[in-house]
Structure formats: structure tokens, C-alpha cells
Amino acid sequence: MGKERSIELEDFPQAGIYDELLDDQAQPRPVARALFDYFEHIGPAELAARRDAIDAAIMGMGITFTVYSDAGNIDRTWPLDIVPRIISSREWSRVEEGLKQRLTALNLFINDLYNQQRIIKDGVFPLEVLAGSKNFRPQCRGMTPPFGAWAHICGTDLVRDKDGTFYVLEDNLRVPSGVSYMLENRQLIKRLFPELFKSNDILPVDDYPVRLYDTLAALSPRPGERPEIVVLTPGIYNSAYFEHSYLAQKMGATLVEGSDLITGDDDCVYMKTISGLSRVDVVYRRVDDDFLDPEVFRKDSALGVPGLMRAWRAGKVGIANAPGAGVADDKVVYTFVPKIIKYYLGEDAILPNVPSWLCMYDDQRDHVLANLDKLVVKPANESGGYGMLIGPRSTPEERTTFAELIRANPRNYMAQPTLALSTAPTLIDDKLAPRHLDLRPFVLQSDKLYATTGGLTRVALRKGSLVVNSSQGGGSKDTWIINVEEA
Amino acid sequence: MLSRVAENLYWMARYLERAENTARLINSMTQVLLDLPKSAYFGWDLLLQIVGLDCANRERYPQADEDSIMHLLVSDTHNRSSILSCVHLARENARTVREVLPMEIWERINQLFLYVRESAPQAVKSRGPRYEMLNGVIERRESIIGLLSGSMSRDDAHHFMQLGRFVERADMTTRIVDIHFAVHMPDDSALATLTRERSWIGTLTALSAYQAYRRQVGVHVEAAAVTNFILKDRNFPRSVSYCLSELDQALASLPHNDEPLCALQDGRNRLVGTDIAALDWQTMHHFLDKMQADLGKLHSAIAAQYFHLHHTKAAADAAVHND
């Protein structure tokens, strides 16, 4: 039963694409009914006015991110679309289980790689993939961090295909960012639509900083005492500086730069305070491995702390994520994750991978080279959407370049079909139009496992675009997990 | 507290104080000094001497008229003491220490910066919008101070902000007094008396001190009484004496404060030991220079003790024993 709506929909329904809030008749799905009723109730003028209010609030609160290429312009405000993305709690609990399963297996895998390497000896994971890994750190061999956990904070990117199934697109195990925007988005949307929070059973997200604190505190080498936790940032010019500061503040931790820390001859890490040196127990580092410790990794790094690795190996300081955890954050390793889960846990993966072709295998490479115009080709170790080829949008010249790159270094490339990413209605001018999105939940593991309720929904604000990265014109949405009686 | 954070808080507070002081100064000068007779010389360029910018900028602003000096003081991003630069630098310092400040403080400082950036171009061009904009700066700065006073624990972070705020304020007060001794008065003695009085009223207004002065001292505005009030009154919050006792309180709460307290005491001794009324303009100028140097030494002592502490590996080893 179609109902006249005062807020205009544009380009709905769409053929062959799953929309998060509207069904194929452009009618609200059960999870979205209350939202659309509410929008009708307040009307288009009020909706636009609230959008303007939120833009002003974001500007005033100084919620920003940085774009490297914007010389001279340190920060841009964070674009938040006011239409939330909604998932039912029933569906979410299954996803949550899958996320925890995945991180558990990945941590077993990383610990194995740095120790016995059983998975290689058993022929499940090829040695040549490990040998070609940029993020495998021989300096970490023989280490078993507390609880066997290397990746304590994981940002898992999920997408939904046209059939409505969630797929894992990638696992970010190095220094995943975005969680502060998830938290801030909720604060803003609560300010904006307080009525909706009264009438809907929207699960809260704001326990994350406490869970993060507990995850980090469990790594302290001095259990029983109140741990001194620091957030190590590369500094104000880093794109995620806002988040580093935000999380430090929310956890009551100290935000430090490399030059604020020093490693003593006793292998303990200290920070320089107004009353002298003070011992640090846990470093939540938001600095890449390469820059972590100039004694061990890049000699020219001014961002790190000389001796930090020594302190970590001596068990005098906890580091999250552990150095070397990035070995499993590799788009080629990714393709093995279902096998990794089976190998360590004896279970099938709850969340499927996107089907992928590995260029290191001759037959799969031939398929990729023959279908460059249809596939998305990704390098193993880039992040932020850089260095990719999106086949259907590419020029013949770009495809030729990529074919050469692949042939020169096949281990470094994998390819996936172009997914029909799901969309959600997004307020564009004064209409609701479909825009593609993904979802990044954050998963924590040390003594306990935890996954955020929902996560950060990133949305490509340009019509038809599939690139959701904030550095490339993406925005975000508040993500609601709601208890709803399915009709 | 991290040394780096202490330093950023200190500078954040200094820049905020400087922005507000400059706004007050421009407003009061605009109000009062335009009434002066033509034969009295108190041009806009004297403002530059007050804020210590005269030499460095003579080349870039050869004409020294109202427009160009307002540009220099309000919106010139090459001048690190312009109001726009000050609020920008305060914001950049605040941004690196957000985690130790109440959340709303950052928002207010951010909003102050956005406000100045938005309204500065108009304010430079004409007096109406300028007055409004400068008052806007003062009000917003005051709301930040109010928020701090009501919502921030009196912890080390607060002490360092107090240090920055009162070092800057004391320094500015000495400069504002100093400038009057460089004014060329008209030859006509009746006119000179009137002019002098007007300009001292301007000084009091720039420090928001006129009302307090009238209640404490009286309605007659003359040099010795004004300077004595501005420098030595114990209760007026912009007097140098008051600033020094606030600094004393802040330092007293910090660890390892011997050296900075010692530097502060030198300044207090000089102030207490000087009979302000007995100074002529030359000796007054000399005295104010010395006071500014004392404040400079205090700043250096604070920086050496807390910001650039000699942290070495040997010190790290030493720290183990009392861990």
C-alpha cells in the first residue's frame, strides 16, 4: 500500500541493489518504519533545518579529520548525514558472533606465525605468502604477548551485496580509525532527534571507551596497580589526531607523542612530566610499525620511541596493537581467512569473504588479467582506498598500467568482483536519494572479546560512487541496532 | 602532567589573554583618543609600541594609518600577536591538549577562532563593526574564563593556564602604562592637562579599571595616582601586583618550584621597593623595562623547570629507585 510522502524520494526503487531502509517497492522496511513516520511528522522543511543545525554543531564542536593533500588546511569538518542506517538486533547478533570468531582466529594465526608456524607446516597457508609479506616483522619472532592477542583493536569492513548478505571486505589490524566518529555521530543524532530515541529501542554505543580501557589495562605488566595508559599519536598533523585526543580524553589516558617518552636502561618506558619521569604501563599506539622504534625499524623516524621494542620484548610495557600484528592485515592473507578459521577453530566462517582471485596463482592471474574491466584490483598492503583499480570505471591506459604492475609483482595483488554495495537513503539537497555505504565495526580482544554495537557507517556522498573513504569524499551515518518485532 | 602539555596550556592561556587585551586596548583607544586635540600627538602607531611591534613592522606598514594598523593588530596572519593569530595559536595549542580540558572549553575556543576569522575582515575596515567584533572577542574570552572557573579542577593543568594568563597580563599592563610616557603633549598648558587626563582615562578604560579607580582613589585622574593604582593595587585583577600574587599562588601548588618562585620574588621585590609617585617619566620608563625583564626571567625559569626539563636516560635510571 503506497502512501504519498511529503519528503521526496529520488531514484528509488533501484533495480539490483539492496537498500538498507527501503524495500524494492520503495517502502520502509520494518526497522525503518518508525523513522519514516517521524520524518513525515516533522516534514521536509524541519528536516532540512535540522540538517543545517547539525552542520553548525559539527563545525562548532571542531569534529575534524585531515586530508594529507590539503596543504595549509589542517582540518575539514566531518560530514554526517542525518538519516541513520538501521539494522535489527536479531541480524546484528549473528554478525557480532562472526566478528568475534574472525578476530579470535586471526590472533591465533598471528601468534602461530611468530612462533611454531604450524599452519605453514600443515600446508594450509603457503610459505611464499608469508615470505612476501611486508608486514611480517622478524623482530617479533618468539614473542607471545599476554592472552596470545596481537591485534587488540580490529576494524572490520563489512559490505552488503545485492542479496542482502554481509561480506567481510577487509580486516584492519594495524591502527584502525573511525571509532570516535561512531561515538560522536550518536551524540549528534541524539541531540537532533531526541524523540526517536524515546520511542525506539536503539541500543547504546557509548560503552566503547570503557571497553577499550579494560582491554588495554589487561595488558599492564604491573597487574593490581592502576595502570598508566598512554595513547601514542604521530601528532596534530595526522589525519586521525582528533580521534587520538578524543579516545585519550574518554579513557582518562595521557595523549603522548614519541618525544614525550623515553626508554630507560632498565627497559621500562617513561614519560616526561613536570615532576620528572613517570613509568608507562601500556602504549595504545596510533603510529605504524615502521615508525614505532628507530632502534629497530625506520632509523629516521622522529615519531617513535627509541627502545620501545626492547621494553615490549622484556615484558615491561604492553603495546596495542602489538608490533607485527599487521601481518594479517594484508589483502592476500585476507583470502585465506576462511581456511584460517577452519584450521584453528574447526568452525566454518560465520561471515563470508568476498570471492577473490589471487594473482600469485597462474590460473587466477590469467582470469584477472582477462577481466580487468570488470574487477576491482587491490594491492596487498595499501589502505584508505589508495592504489586500487576499479575496473568498470577505469580507462584502457589505467588497465595497461595495472596489468604491468600485476605481472611485475603478482604476490602483491588480488582482485574481487565489483560488488553492488548496498545503499541507504541520504539527504541530498532536500530529497532522500540512495547512496552506497559500508560498515566498520570495531572488535576488541585481550582478556575478553567485545564488538561494538553496530559500528561506523561510511557513505559515498557522490551519486553512484562506491568510494566511502573520508579522504576521498565520503561521509558517515549514525548506525542503529534496534530491537524490533519483525512483521 | 606531561611537560609538553604543560607548555601548550601555558601558551594557550597566554594567547587568549593577549587576544583579549589587544581587543580592549584598541577599543579604548578608539573611544578616548579620537577626542584629543590635533596638537597632541598620539597616533595609531603608538599602539604598535605598546604591543612591541613598532620596529618589526615599519617596513610592511610605512603609512601607519588607522586601516593598516588595524589590519596589523586584528587580522594580519604574519603578525603572531594579531587577534586572529592569537586565537588561532590558542586554538592550535588547545587542540593538542584537549584531553586535559573540559570538553566545552575546546568548543568555545574553536568558536572564538571561527568568530574572529569570520568577522575580522569587516572589523578592519570600519569602526562600527570593529567595536562590535572586539566586544565579541572580549565576551567570548570571558565566557571561556567563566567556564574554566566553574568546571575545571584546580589541578596542574589549571595552574599552568594561570601562569600563562597572569604572566601575559602583567606584561601587557606594564606596556600600557609605559606608552603614556612617550606621548608628545601640546605646548598650551591647559590643553596639555586636559590631554593628559584624557589619555590616562584611556589607559584606565583599556584595563577596565576606570570604575575601580574612581571608587578606590577618586575622580581626579592624574599620572602618579593612576600608575600607582595600575601597578600596585592589591585587589584590582589587572594590576601588576595582583597578577604577581596570582602567579605566586599557582607556583606554590606546583612541584619543584624553587627557581620560578625565586624569579618571581625578584619582580615582587622590585615592585614593592619602588616608590611609583617619585618617578619621572624617564625613570618610570626604566623601571617598567626592568619589570618586563623580570617577567621575561620568570617565563624562562618556568620553561626551564617544567617544559624543557633535562630528561635523560640517566634520569630514567634514577627514577627507578623511587618508582
Optimal mutation site among A73, A237, A277, A280, interface B, most CBs of chain B within 10 A: A277
Please give the average per-residue pLDDT across B248-275, as a whole number: 96
CB-closest option in A248, A265, A275 to B99: A248
Optimal mutation site among B8, B88, B95, interface A, most CBs of chain A within 10 A: B95
**A177: closest CA among A208, A159, A154?**
A154
Residues contacting A167, CB < 8 A, separation 6+:
A158, A159, A160, A161, A351, A352, A353, A354, A419
Res. B42: pLDDT tops 80: no
**DSSP states of A438-476:** EEE-EEEESSSEEE-SS-EEEEE-STT-----GGGTEEE
* Residue A16 backbone zone (phi > 0: left; psi -120 to 50: alpha; other: beta): left
What is the reported pLDDT for A1?
41
Contact B313 A273 (CB under 8 A): no
Q: Which residues of B16-49 are buried (b: 16+ CB within 10 A; e: fewer)?
A: bbbbbbbbbbbbbbbebbeebeeebebebbbbbe
With cell 585622574, the residue in question is B221
What is the reported pLDDT for B222?
85
Contact between A103 and A382 under an 8 Å Cβ cutoff? The reply is no
What is the reported pLDDT for B57?
63
Q: How many Å apart are CA B197 and CA A276, to the nearest integer?
A: 52
Other C-beta atoms lying within 10 Å of the C-beta of residue A169: 20
> What is residue A486's DSSP assignment?
-
Contact B96 A245 (CB under 8 A): yes
CB-closest option in B100, B317, B319 to A276: B319
Question: In Å, how far is A456's CA from the nearest CA of chain B?
Answer: 22
Question: In Å, how far is B180's CA from the nearest CA of chain A?
Answer: 40
Question: Could you report the per-residue pLDDT of A349-379, keeping only the tens digit for each?
Answer: 999 999 999 999 999 999 999 999 999 998 8
Contact B255 A266 (CB under 8 A): no
Res. B216: pLDDT tops 60: yes
Please give the average per-residue pLDDT across A168-172, as a whole number: 94
Which residues of A touch chain B, with CB atoms under 8 Å apart? 59-62, 236, 241, 245-246, 248-249, 253-257, 259-260, 262-266, 268, 270-279
Q: Which domains does chain A have, with CATH numbers?
A: 357-417 (3.30.1490.270)
Question: Could you report the per-residue pLDDT of A72-113, keeping only the tens digit for each?
Answer: 555 566 789 999 999 999 999 999 999 999 999 999 999 999
What is the reported pLDDT for B203?
86
B57 vs A447, higher pLDDT: A447
Most confident of A35-49, A394-408, A442-456: A442-456
What is the reported pLDDT for B275?
94
Contact between B154 and B253 under an 8 Å Cβ cutoff? The reply is yes
Size of interface A-B (CB pairs under 8 A): 92
* All structural domains of chain B with their residue ranges: 3-310
A256 phi and psi, to 5 degrees? -125, 155
A256 vs B186, higher pLDDT: A256
Q: A268 to chain B: which residues are within 8 Å by CB?
A: 316, 320
Please give the average per-residue pLDDT across A461-473, as a whole number: 80
Contact B316 A270 (CB under 8 A): yes
Res. A71: pLDDT tops 60: no
Q: How many Å apart are CA B292 and CA B279, to the nearest integer?
A: 17
CB-closest option in B96, B156, B311 to A262: B311
Other C-beta atoms lying within 10 Å of the C-beta of residue B9: 26
pTM, full prediction = 0.82
Res. A57: pLDDT tops 90: no
Q: Which residues of A355-387 are buried (b: 16+ CB within 10 A; e: fewer)?
A: ebbbbbeeebbeebbeebeebbbbbbbebebeb
Question: Could you report the per-residue pLDDT of A279-317, keeping only the tens digit for each?
Answer: 999 999 999 999 999 999 988 888 899 999 999 999 999
Q: B306 to chain A: which residues are within 8 Å by CB?
A: 274
Q: Name the residue in chain B with its Cα closest to that of A254.
A: B99
* ipTM value > 0.85: no
Residues contacting A150, CB < 8 A, separation 6+:
A107, A110, A111, A114, A173, A321, A322, A324, A325
Q: Name the residue in chain A with its Cα closest to that of B313.
A: A264
What is the reported pLDDT for A140?
96
A469 vs B278, higher pLDDT: B278
Contact A249 B99 (CB under 8 A): yes
Res. A430: pLDDT tops 90: no
Q: Kind of pairing, strands A318-320 and A282-285?
A: parallel
